[in-house]
Chains A and B, each alone.
Chain A
Amino acid sequence: MISLAGRDILHSWGKYAFTGLGLGLLIGVTLSMAGIYRGMVDDGKALLANSGADLWVVQRDTLGPYAEPSSLRDDVYRGLLGLPGVARAANVTYLTMQARQGERDVRVMVVGIQPGEPGEPRYLIAGRQIERTHYEAVADASTGFQLGARVRIRRHDYTVVGLTRRMVSASGDPMVFIPLRDAQEAQFLKDNDAIVNERARVLANPALNRPGIPGLAETLSRSQETSRMVNAVLVQIAPGWAADEVAETIRRWKRLQAYTVPQMEEILIAKLIATSARQIAVFLMILAVVSAAIVSFIIYTMTLGKLREIAVLKLIGARNRTIAGMILQEALGLGLIGFLVGKTVATLWAPYFPKYVLLEPGDAARGFVAVMVICALASTLAIRTALRVDPATAIGG
């Protein structure tokens, strides 16, 4: 038996290809939506993996440092280093701000790190790590900054000495690593008017500016001018120790919150991007319904255009199975064209999204199955109509 569906598709391939293309664009959008979600999850995992930390120590009762603000004194890490099982501990700061290069303004997450310590980016795609204690930066390539570029963050210019890839915050902003001191200053620096103002206040306070104690007011003012805060301490665990165990020790003895890698993943994925994920899920559902409606409409219209041929087929003895099979195969064929077009366009336009779009083969496979199921369901209306056609209409009056 020849394939009636195949012949019909070949006969009107222009119409068919055009419809498949339209459906394909819709499927492409759907696959991209899934890819955006996967990209967010993957970015989160990359962020954790590249920090080189086993534990995140943050302010008590917070989900810091990514999902909630957290601040710690910057000498806390010394105490942590004394605990059993802690191999290394280093301060980090995170702050989202604008970085300026020439005329260009880029929204970045500035990360303050101690060179050579946990928190430093693990892999560079170009250049070197920060070596000087001031005014050097390692930037993510997606900022568009080049090696050697001068980038302005708050009041200072930084030279880009290294480039990373896929180092972005949970909201997709590329990271720029700078020395911790500079970052603390950028984060907590007061402007000159405020400093003058505070100084005057201290001097005017008789309790603080006492004639008998020279230097008290000066010291107090200076201590207010510099920041001694960080957002988190990243801890690496000594070999042979379990992360949970060390985290528990830190929680108990230091009265701080400590998160392990799985806990941090849970916070990033289940809390930070949960709303976006639900948003995407609703969107996916709507797209599925819209695609189903479009496919059924197209298949239905195509079938209506063939009612006379269907009546003739019935008249010359075609079984219902043959006719239903023809319509079903055409619907599936349309789905196949749509899926191939969709997969292609999703791959082609993925790099143009500002955020990472991860097209997982598993998602593509699930998408393919969903498209086929939707097409099969969508063809039922057309099949019902076709099976109701009276073969007598082929004879006419």
Chain B
Amino acid sequence: MSKEIPAHNLSIYVANRPGALARIAQTFSRRGFNIESLVVSAGATGDFSRMTITAKGDEAGLEQIIMQCSKLVDVLACREHTDEEVVARELALVKVAVDSAHRGEVLQIADHFRAKTVDLSEKSIVLEATGSSEKLDAMVDLLSKYKIIELVRTGKVIMARGERET
């Protein structure tokens, strides 16, 4: 197998202006980085947005991307965080096809991962789970034994622990 390409957590604090997202996305695509997940949300005040990006690529490319992003006129800060430095959460909604025969098993899995049932019908169930991306991966993995009709994940959001800035 080929060498595992490392995934990086980046947090970008950006003025809420048209084009900001496109400019940031371009700095990644230009350097061959694959964005795994991207979450854009309002910052603490309305004029700013917080972007959390998980992307795969080599260290040298990453350093370039951080510097190129930091240089964008709209960007106030662009930082990489190791997994240890942050709390990371993700939310997933999983729609699983279940008949009454298998519902119990699926609910058991849900219970193990502390997932909530947010919709239930005769042929399907929608589960909501939050936690680390790895935990969600594990849950989805187990559920894939049944028929997953749809899967929607928010992508990872991170926040630096303690006094550190994200």
Do these two chains interact? no
Which residues of chain A have a CB within 8 Å of any CB of chain B?
none
